[in-house]
A and B are shown apart, each in its own frame.
Chain A
């Protein structure tokens, strides 16, 4: 590209510098006004701390799956486990006291047990409902119960039980259910137990070892809301401290605890990272820019961040993740001020001209970074799109501040860095061939290792699991069972249609999975048509002839055992009565409301009935091979959701990376109008990206969304370094470009790379990626580009070289 041509379309900043020199107060005031307005826009925006911003919103299936995952029975519940080596009664009393203290607005509907469930009235109702509920396979067992031998044994057993005080109290039960059919029904009801290790004692939820009791509370606070979760957990900690005496211990199992643990870890990490970054940047400034102007360099990203706040005006809701992550991203905008700092001469008269000289690489440097964020605007994640728009505005603001306001702060007297006098010359090395050889080898190794890289779209792997969370989770699962469950939703336009789908599902599941791995309400609440069928079968079974035979048998065997003729007449009376149809409302009225409402979800005109199964490959295969054929069935699990997310993100990420590289190349080609120089400028970006992906492949670390985001950012930043160095090499400028690149790279590493110290996996991921990427891009800029440039120069015709100067 011709020098004069390039200057012709970006030359206003030198003129503007001269124009504004006598009017600096006005310039500073306008800058400050924009900064304040941006900050105000951010302060008054509706900021949400919700992970939903990081879930794709353009894929209907993923959105729906995420929404369905929130319908898990425990997704909106807070469960408190009380344990201690004390009397069970004491545990129950403490649980009751704690439950009473849990009040709105944080908690609603707090319970320590199922109420007066399984009382005499419940038994009586269950017996009357047997005709509609008795599963088809239980009719065989029923047939076996009415043989003369079985009846004889049963009569004898009932008589013996009547001798005991406890048996005497059950005599009405014997009269109504002498065949013990209720035991068949209770066997069916075990499928409805959400926690397999739970039992009911004294109307409390108690563990099998009787050393744990549970409190289950509903909360209106969304488990993905970090601020709300922090308040809820803090409130609960206070209540536990007041109500739970030693040696009883209480721990909370709820999504809110995970969210709060992550938010707390991030806050701690931010402190550590900020301190480390600050110290690192101060050292760099001290070594290279030790001056008042150096402080203004630091100020540019801060001002840009405030101005980026204008973006909040264009969104109804703004994510705190966007502001947090965007703020870190905007740290890179220090680069433009650094380059201008090193380029500007102390001589005031030459400043405008030099400013025009650096305008091209600085503007194109910013444009390549903007290009990367433009690519991210096409991301399926709304949070990433917000981060992109926020960063684009911030970068543009930083560019304008660096080119318009910042040069007025620079003076030769202020430039006293420790390495000020050392020259870092970017010129073709004598050992260029060796450098190029090693660089090619590095890229080839990275390409080779990158073959094995995988993508992990499961957002759970980006969650921090503290040791106490892990321990409590393992203890809870061991004590109460459950956990790690996948969800099968039987859908219908009304409850009965959904129940029919649910029955088909239950039939398939029971033939393929062990009973203790299935949680379903199908045996407790069959569809009306199914109940009618069963009732008909029941009535067919109890034909007049069969009843007469049984009565005769009973009279004979009963008399032998000592029973009167009418001892079991209530049972026979019951056979003649019209059995009731079991409905969801009836189950609610019998004390099963929590379970029914947890398993039946009505939303947007669709009724869904939930079945819980293990979240493992066996169930996933079963769904793919058989269950999928059931019309109206949906399968949702954290693993499947993660896989789906990985698939979508993996596909998009390929195009986003490719888009970032192509856009960057297009921009540098627009700058140089020369393929070779454009490719040279791309060297640091491509090197950084390959090193990141190659390293992850080598270490077997799956790439996550934050690695990818960082990789795209590395391309954008590192290409800047390439542009500056190629401009220097081809333009023959005397600016301290190498030092500017080095300082830019080091500040980025200090700012971003400090994230490597973070405990939170997401932040740590960014730190690793930036450390690797920028760490590779700096030598690629300072050493590899000059080596390649020298090598190319050697084989180029001299006339070509002359025309190629920028």
Chain B
């Protein structure tokens, strides 16, 4: 799957909402690339256990092992589960509830202790054919929230390996 995304973040830390745009690539089973293009160039990509991260364009990407970055590991598991609409995986981690039929909207309440301490609810809005997620909203306990909107999604097309 590949798609463009727009991310809107609201947190008490920031005066205003932080809006960023970029591209997202995912190839089963374990390749993922999250690239922010605006307002700055930043992102990460993962291929199995090998990961890269970058901030800006002046420095070459930093290579590291995924297992060294526990934050990123958790994040990737979640991104993959949400965007690929992997319900069996989601059921293990969340209490699932369909909140709307059109478009299909699902509320996810975390079950696992670590995530439950920080996240109140995750809301997923699905594409009409239910093949992928068009929007993810994460509401945190402290009132912070993120909304990620996916657009121009392409499913089942080959993705160049260099992306990862």
Binding site for B on A (CB under 8 A): 87-89, 118-119, 159-166, 168-171, 174-175, 199, 201-202, 206, 210, 559, 562-564, 566-567
Contact = CB atoms under 8 A, between A and B. Distances in A.
A164 B18 contact: no
B152 to A, nearest CB: 20
A166 B75 contact: yes
Given A162-B13, A166-B44, A564-B12, 4 more contacts: A162-B11, A162-B18, A164-B44, A567-B12
B55 A168 contact: no
B13 A163 contact: no
A163 B41 CA distance: 10
Interface stretch (B63-71, B87-95, B156-164): B63-71
A161 B146 CA distance: 15
Contacts of A165: 34, 44, 72, 75, 79
Nearest to B68: A201
B77 interface: no
B113 to A, nearest CB: 12
Nearest to A161: B55
B71 A170 contact: yes
Contacts of B49: 87-89
Contacts of B67: 88, 201-202, 206
A164 B9 CA distance: 11
Nearest to B56: A160
Nearest to A118: B70
B18 A163 contact: yes
A357 B14 CA distance: 113
B62 to A, nearest CB: 11
Contacts of A564: 12-15
Contacts of A159: 14, 18
A153 B39 CA distance: 17
B80 to A, nearest CB: 12
B65 A210 contact: yes
B23 interface: no
A169 B71 CA distance: 7
Contacts of B14: 159, 162, 562-564, 567
Contacts of A170: 71
A118 to B, nearest CB: 8
Given A163-B36, A165-B34, A166-B75, A563 B13 contact: yes
Contacts of B65: 88, 201, 210
Interface string B2-45: 00000001011111101010000000000000101001101110
Contact of B12 (A88, A89, A169, A566): A566
B39 A166 contact: no
Query: For the complex, would chain B's binding face be called helix, strand, loop or mixed by DSSP majority?
Result: mixed
A169 B18 contact: no
Contact of B68 (A199, A563, A567): A199
A591 to B, nearest CB: 14
Contacts of A162: 9, 11, 13-14, 18
Interface of B: 9, 11-16, 18, 20, 34, 36, 39-40, 42-44, 48-49, 53, 55-56, 65, 67-72, 74-75, 79, 144, 146
Contacts, number: 78
B33 to A, nearest CB: 12
A736 B15 CA distance: 114
A162 B7 CA distance: 12
Contacts of A566: 12
Nearest to B138: A168
A175 B14 CA distance: 11
B75 to A, nearest CB: 5
A163 B39 contact: yes
10 closest Cβ pairs, A-B complex: A201-B67, A567-B13, A202-B67, A169-B71, A164-B42, A163-B20, A564-B15, A166-B72, A165-B75, A163-B36
B8 to A, nearest CB: 12
A159 to B, nearest CB: 8
7 contacts: A87-B48, A163-B36, A163-B42, A171-B13, A201-B68, A566-B12, A567-B13
Nearest to B118: A172
A165 to B, nearest CB: 5
Nearest to A565: B15
Nearest to B35: A164
Given A559-B15, A562-B16, A160 B55 contact: yes
A171 B34 CA distance: 19
Nearest to A175: B13
A163 B53 CA distance: 13
Nearest to B20: A163
Contacts of B72: 165-166
A786 B111 CA distance: 101
Among A87, A165, A201, A202, residue most surrounded by chain B Cβ atoms (within 10 Å): A165
B13 A160 contact: no
Among A166, A169, A199, residue most surrounded by chain B Cβ atoms (within 10 Å): A166
Contacts of A202: 67
A760 to B, nearest CB: 44
Contacts of B56: 160
A567 B18 CA distance: 14
Given A161-B55, A563-B13, A567-B12, A168 B146 contact: yes
Contacts of B79: 165
Given A163-B40, A164-B43, A166-B53, A171 B11 contact: yes
Contacts of B48: 87
Contacts of B18: 159, 162-163, 562
A23 B164 CA distance: 99
B15 A562 contact: yes
Nearest to B76: A165
Contacts of A563: 13-15
Nearest to A170: B71
Contacts of A89: 49
Nearest to B38: A163
B91 to A, nearest CB: 23
A175 B142 CA distance: 13
A564 B146 CA distance: 17
Contacts of B70: 118-119
Contacts of B55: 160-161, 164
A199 B146 CA distance: 34
A231 to B, nearest CB: 36
Contacts of A119: 70
A339 to B, nearest CB: 76
A206 B39 CA distance: 38
A167 to B, nearest CB: 8
A168 B15 contact: no
Among A164, A201, A206, A567, residue most surrounded by chain B Cβ atoms (within 10 Å): A164
B117 to A, nearest CB: 9
Nearest to B74: A169
A242 B65 CA distance: 30
Contact of B71 (A166, A174, A175): A166
Contacts of A161: 55
Contacts of B36: 163-164
A170 B69 CA distance: 11
A563 B67 CA distance: 31
B41 to A, nearest CB: 10
A166 B70 CA distance: 10
A133 B67 CA distance: 28
A566 B44 CA distance: 29
Nearest to B36: A163
